[in-house]
Amino acid sequence: MSETPPTLDGDWPSWVQEHKVCWELSPLQEMVKGHRVQQTGYTLKLFGRFNPRAENDASTVARSIHERLRMLAADVVRAMPVPALVQVKPPGRAVIPVEKPFVVEVELAVSACPPHPDRPLPPAELRRVIVIVEARLRSLGLKKK
Q: Residue 105: what pLDDT?
A: 84
Question: What's the pTM?
Answer: 0.79
What's the Rg (C-alpha) of the chain?
17
pLDDT, tens only, 109-124: 888 887 776 677 788 8
pLDDT, tens only, 85-117: 888 877 655 555 556 567 778 888 888 887 776
Q: Residue 98: what pLDDT?
A: 55
Between strands 102-113 and 143-144, the pairing is unpaired
Phi, psi of 102 (to 5 degrees): -90, 145
The gap between the terminal CA atoms of the chain, to the nearest Å, is: 23
Phi, psi of 60 (to 5 degrees): -65, -40
Model confidence at 65: pLDDT above 80: yes
Model confidence at 34: pLDDT above 80: no
